[in-house]
Amino acid sequence: MSILNKMSALSPIEAKEPKKITITGHVQVAMTEDQIKTTKAYIIANKLGYNVQPNQHDIGRPYRVAIKYSEAPWANFGQYESKDVAAAIGTIVSMAYFGEKAKVGSFDQATVEASKEYQAFLVDARNVEILARANGELPTVHAEAAQAPF
């Protein structure tokens, strides 16, 4: 049998569709390049904050909160459906890193306080330190880095 005959039994290449992944009942659908650009423009136009980026891996949760500080790797703080929740959490992260020099994103406080996404962020054990820094109970990341001996 020739190699060409063997190849005819293989599956053909199909048009590439956004990647879909199911995680705990939620189907993730990756953003297209145009959706990423549109979401980024929306974030900037609506002043959601420096720590809010498009979540290219899931159009259903289009906002990702993350920060890249100094030489440290990206620190991620979740993906959110609500722009208000993402902006609020992005501001909390900014406060934890920069204290009074932080910049506030634009969000509706009542919407955030009523959100299950926000409530989940507050009770997540991974966020205890970042919340303590934002509340001034621990030094900010920036202040701590400035005091580190080199």
Q: What is the mean pLDDT of residues 89-111?
A: 93
Rounded CA-CA distance 79/46 in Å is: 18
Residue carrying the six token digits 């459906």: 81
DSSP type of residue 31: P
pLDDT at 149 over 90: no
**Nearest 10 degrees: CA dihedral of 120, 126, 128, 132?**
-110
Identify the weakest region by mean pLDDT among 7-16, 47-56, 113-122. Answer: 7-16
pLDDT in the model for residue 82: 97
Nearest CA-CA partner of 36 in 54, 14, 17, 22: 54
> Mean pLDDT in the chain?
86
Rounded CA-CA distance 125/106 in Å is: 26
pLDDT at 56 over 90: yes
Q: What is the mean pLDDT of residues 43-68?
A: 94
